Amino acid sequence: MNRIFAALIAVVAIAGIAGVASADANLKGSIKIDGSSTVYPITEAIAEGFMAENPNVRVTVGVSGTGGGFKKFSAGETDVSDASRPVKEKEIQAMQGNGIDFIELPVAFDGIAVCVSADNSFIDYLTTEELKRMWEPEADGKVTHWNQIRSSFPNKPIKLYGPGTDSGTFDYFTKAINGEERACRSDFTGSEDDNVLVQGIAGNTNAIGYFGFAYLMENMDILRAVPIKHEGKTVSPSMDTINNGTYAPLSRPIFIYVSTVSMDRAEVDEFIHYYLENAADIVPDVGYVPLPEEIYELGIEQFEDGVTGSIFHGSGANLDAKATLYDKMEAKQS
């Protein structure tokens, strides 16, 4: 991925300026990470930069979706879990059953981009009500053509693409648009691999789908973001609208979760510090919005103090603004 390569170059440059690019031959071991395809570009870029500085540490980053990642995490198969939504209560219970606790660390802001092919000329915007009409369970097998969404749209079949059901992006989108997490029509093409969704949408002018903002940024030559009209305002996803919260209700924080079983290993400890200390510089290079510096600093503090549990109380998908994110973290720390 070009943005991951660009992020790696940025990490190496930052390390060189700081005078810390020399390899640490004493740091050895391996770190296993899995989970969200949305968070993957950030974690992969961070991992590549970390390994460049620490060649005796092997960091592997898998992509099985947020839910799939938490399953591996709760089984003790991974050290860190990438997540595009907060952990759910049932996932917390599965971890506790295996003697695993976690530290929750937000790493960036993301916007879920609703996209069509760059060659699509008839969609100027969509309302959240129209998205609901398109994606709600009642649409299954019934809402099949574009003119059923808006009479001025052509009488052409809709081809829907979306994240698979193990995806945190699926959970978040269905909660934000359909009003209930995981409530969705079943007759769409789903995949945990966002690149599959990108290619499917780009290849069909009647297709539409959604995924993390970074995958739009990586494919601007073949995709077009659909502006979303919500509560009277029509807004397109961008670094600015995601950061200032105006791209509602499809903006969200994204996370990594660190296993308390793994956190005391030197390589994991160094990796998490490296992640949070470099995220603000790397996150924009892979198409996401960095958190305010004080949130990264608070994350480091919570990691060092071993502050466990979720600030979202197992609620899964959430619609909290960034100010609420900081307030909740600060309250938990105190």
How much is the pLDDT for 255?
96
pLDDT at 294 over 80: yes
pLDDT at 194 over 60: yes
Where is average pLDDT lowest: 166-180, 246-260, 314-328? 314-328
pLDDT at 11 over 80: no
Indicate the domain borders of the chain. Answer: 2-109+253-333, 111-243
Q: Quote the tokens at residue 67.
A: 């839910």
Report the b/e string of 46-68 with b at 16+ CB within 10 A: bbbbbbebbeebebebbbbbbbb
DSSP string, 272-324: HHHHHHHHHHHGGGGT-BPPPHHHHHHHHHHHHHT--B-TTTTB-S----HHH
Segment holding 51, helix H or strand E: helix 40-53
Give the architecture (CATH level 2) of 111-243. 3-Layer(aba) Sandwich (3.40)
How much is the pLDDT for 10?
53
Percent of the chain with pLDDT over 70: 90
How much is the pLDDT for 21?
45
Rounded to the nearest 5 degrees, what angle is found at the Cα of 81, between the Cα atoms of 77 and 84?
Answer: 145
Calculate the CA 106 to chain-centre distance. 10
Contact criterion met (CB below 8 Å) for 194 and 38 = yes
323 pLDDT band (50/70/90 cuts)?
low
Q: Which residue has the higher pLDDT, 141 or 21?
A: 141
How much is the pLDDT for 329?
83
Task: Give the C-alpha separation, 82 to 27, whole Å.
Answer: 23
In tens, the pLDDT along 119-134 reads: 999 999 999 999 999 9
pLDDT at 241 over 50: yes
Calculate the CA 48 to chain-centre distance. 19
pLDDT at 193 over 50: yes
Q: Quote the tokens at residue 273.
A: 């510090």
Segment holding 57, helix H or strand E: strand 57-61
327 pLDDT band (50/70/90 cuts)?
confident
Segment holding 58, helix H or strand E: strand 57-61
Can you tell me the mean pLDDT for 128-143?
98
Question: In terms of Cα–Cα distance, which of 250, 213, 252 is closest to 127?
Answer: 250
Beta-strand runs (E) in 153-301: 159-163, 189-191, 207-212, 223-225, 228-230, 233-235, 251-259
Predicted TM-score of the model (pTM) = 0.86
pLDDT at 20 over 50: no
CATH code of the domain occupying 2-109+253-333? 3.40.190.10
Task: Give the C-alpha separation, 249 to 128, whole Å.
Answer: 9
Contact criterion met (CB below 8 Å) for 77 and 32 = yes
Can you name the residues that pair with 116 across neighbouring β-strands? 208, 224
pLDDT at 3 over 60: no
Contacts of residue 5, Cβ cutoff 8 Å, sequence gap at least 6: none
How much is the pLDDT for 325?
78
* Nearest-10 Cα torsion for 86, 69, 137, 151: 80
In tens, the pLDDT along 66-107 reads: 999 999 999 999 999 999 999 999 999 999 999 999 999 999
317 pLDDT band (50/70/90 cuts)?
low
